[in-house]
Amino acid sequence: MKSINSHERKVVNIKTAKFTPYDTKTTGETGTSYIKLNPTMPRDVGFYIYKMEPGSSSVPHRHGGAEEFYVIEGQLRDNDGTIYSAGDVVWLAPGTEHNSYSENGCTVAVFSENVEHSIEEAN
């Protein structure tokens, strides 16, 4: 078995890594950021870590494929009132429309099958 070269591996620690803020002008989100290690995948497709600062919200959006996420720390609430807390693992079907709010902030590990669209773009 051959060794893994340094350009074939990227390791960060979510406690110390710098998160990339979402661009407010293009996404409409404030107080949200992410870590994505795979440089060949679009920003919100595949696996990434999503962070919401206290009082932040995601924009209303429709999933182009299924989304699965694990709440690492904190809590978030979906627009229908469902609350997800640290330790929860969630699956949302393709086509699901929602947005989330975090009163005290949260960190979430996300896997998304396909690109999501803002509700305005999707309609």
Structural domain boundaries in the chain: 29-122
Map residue 48 onto helix, strand or coil: strand
Nearest CA to 51 out of 67, 69, 65, 66 is that of 69
CATH architecture of the region 29-122: Sandwich (2.60)
Evaluate whether 67 touches 80 at the Cβ level (below 8 Å): no
Indicate the helix (H) or strand (E) that contains 57: strand 56-57
Residue in the structure block whose two tokens are 């679009």:
42
Which residues are paired to 122 by β-bridges? Answer: none
pLDDT for position 120: 64
Question: Would you write out the chain's pLDDT as a tens digit for each of its 123 residues?
Answer: 999 999 899 999 999 999 999 988 888 888 999 999 998 998 889 999 999 999 999 989 898 899 999 999 999 999 999 999 999 999 999 999 999 999 999 999 999 998 877 776 444
Locate 10 and state its tokens: 């990227």
- pTM for the structure as a whole: 0.89
Euclidean distance between CA atoms 57 and 78, whole angstroms: 10
